[in-house]
Chains A and B, each alone.
Chain A
Amino acid sequence: MLNKVLDLLDPLLILSAALMGVALYLIFIWVPTETNQGAVQRILYFHVPVAWGSMLGIFVVSGSSFMYLWKKTEKWDRLAVASAEVGVIFGGMMLLSGMIWARPVWAVWWTGEAKLTTALILFFIYVAYLMFRAYFPPGAQRQRLAAIIGVIGAVDTPIIYFAANLWSQAHPPLITGPAADAESALGSDLGIVLTASTVAFTFLFIYLVQTRYKIRKSEDDLVELKRAVSTSAMTGAN
């Protein structure tokens, strides 16, 4: 079922490219420059979608890991690994874009406030998950333990989302989602651009996960082939 869905996702490449083109047009040409921050405010249209992508990634890792623990099917493990790898890319971009935005606006690259710290923890969760898989010996035990890490890792996501409201520090307040403050919510023009950009990056995220999933499947197929070759060699020797 999952394989069939993934095979059908190829048009996502075209769709995500078209949506990204629209988003870039809106970001750089259509939306007016914000008066207080100037052009640097446009980083928001990149920072928020990649932050969303990194959180979406950990949800997919967590969900797939849970499904793997339940069903013990390889495809869920592959999906978790693919999502973790793409998620760490998005997480790294979230941190980088946030730091570059903070330099002209806060006059510092980094500060130890709650939202930044919890976002950094999410990045480290991804790194820990991937490092564990890279260094632990292959087998069912590695997949099971990695799945447990994946499920636990998602706990950080709601903390990141609510951090700006819970601790009220330097990070701008929530502008989207159920907990967003009505006064600080984006105006109509800014909201349209942010939504378009988020949709475009979501499709890009799905496409990258799909591609990584296929590579992962090829890796598994290669292992199977190597096993078949050595078996046939042993049969030939006998």
Chain B
Amino acid sequence: MISNVTNTVTTTRTIRFVLAAFIALSAFAFATQISSAEHEPPVSGIVVGVETDDNGNLTRFAVSDSTGTVTTFTIFDGTEYGLENQAGDRWVSTQGEEPSESARRLRDHRERFAPITVVFENGTAFSVVEREQGKLETNLGYLFAVFAVTWALFFAYVLYMGRKQRVLQHEIARLKGKIG
């Protein structure tokens, strides 16, 4: 029985070490993620121009960022949208699925001065989302919060188990000595 208890204490110490390693790895992964995210920054700003064809389908749009720089983006069938109306209802679709709705949504954003974030490559927009939700640094804060809080809980639980086991081990050893 004593050897079983000792074994449990040893494994509890080991799991503490393992959990510490997980947290360190998480921190490393965050650092890597942040550095890779900075490689190709998306453009955020307000919509200043929306261009459509004769059928009312979106062809191009322009965004002015916080420095006043205007960037024009072309779109393609795979361009993804995640935009909200004033009530906060989110519309998620692609250019190919709803070619005219995207123009209507972007005009709505232009009228409301609602900021958007555009992920693009060579002037072609790949995704157009709400500024607040596409804001990488804000999202990383929430992501960090989830991992910090939950791993702290795991760690606290393991500490609790370790302490409990130590008390038990001490008490069992004391009673064993009493019996002789």
Q: Footprint of B on A, CB under 8 Å?
A: 10, 13, 16-17, 20-21, 24-25, 27-29, 33, 35-40, 42-43, 46-47, 50, 89, 92-93, 96-97, 100-101, 103-105, 107, 207-208, 211-212, 214-215, 217-219, 221-222, 225-226, 228-229, 232
Q: Is the CB of A38 within 8 A of B139?
A: yes
B11 smallest CB distance to A (angstroms): 6
Given contacts A28-B30, A38-B134, A40-B139, 18 further A-B contacts (CB under 8 A): A24-B29, A28-B29, A35-B129, A36-B133, A38-B136, A39-B33, A39-B143, A42-B143, A47-B146, A89-B153, A96-B146, A96-B153, A104-B132, A104-B133, A218-B168, A221-B1, A222-B175, A228-B179
* Beta-carbon contact of A35 and B119 below 8 Å: yes
B residues less than 8 Å from A212 (CB atoms): 161
Q: Is the CB of B21 within 8 A of A17?
A: yes
Q: Which 7 residue pairs across A and B have the least CB separation, nearest first?
A: A28-B29, A36-B82, A35-B127, A40-B139, A39-B139, A214-B8, A38-B139
B33 — nearest CB in chain A belongs to which residue?
A: A28
Q: Is the CB of B12 within 8 A of A211?
A: yes
Q: Which residues of A contact B7 (CB under 8 A)?
A: 214
Q: A215 contacts B168, CB within 8 Å?
A: yes
- CB 8 Å contact bits of B30-45 with A (1 = contact, 0 = none): 1011001100000000
Residue of A nearest to B172 (CB): A222
Chain B residues, Cβ within 8 Å of A101: 142, 146
Given A92-B153, A104-B132, decide whether A222 and B15 contact each other with a Cβ distance below 8 A: no
Q: How many A-B residue pairs have CB under 8 A?
A: 142
Contact present for B146 and A97 (CB under 8 Å): yes
17 intermolecular pairs with C-beta atoms under 8 Å apart? A13-B14, A25-B29, A27-B29, A36-B82, A38-B129, A38-B136, A46-B147, A50-B150, A93-B154, A97-B146, A100-B146, A214-B5, A215-B168, A218-B169, A228-B179, A229-B178, A232-B179
Q: Which of B17-58 contact A (CB under 8 A)?
A: 18, 21-22, 25-26, 29-30, 32-33, 36-37
Q: Would you call A46 and B8 a contact (CB within 8 A)?
A: no
CA distance A34 to B21 in the complex (A): 27
When distances are taken between beta carbons in the complex, the residues of chain A under 8 Å from B4 are: 214, 217-218
With both beta carbons as reference points, the residue of chain A lying nearest to B29 in the complex is identified as A28
Q: Which residues of A contact B164 (CB under 8 A)?
A: 215
Interface centre among A16, A25, A100 (most CB of B within 10 A): A100
Chain A residues near B154 (CB, 8 Å)? 89, 93
Contacts of B8 in A (CB 8 A): 211, 214-215, 218
> A225 contacts which of B12, B32, B142, B176 (Cβ < 8 Å)?
B176
A33 to B142, CA, bound (A): 15
**CA separation between A18 and B32, bound complex, in Å?**
20
Task: Please state if B140 and A35 are interface contacts (CB–CB under 8 Å).
Answer: no
B141-155, CB < 8 A from A = 142-143, 145-147, 149-150, 153-154
B157 touches A100 (CB 8 A): no
**Chain A residues with CB below 8 A from B132, complex form:** 104
B21: which A residues are within 8 A, CB to CB?
A: 17, 21
A219 lies within 8 A of B139 (CB): no
The CA-CA distance from A222 to B168 in the complex, in Å, is 7
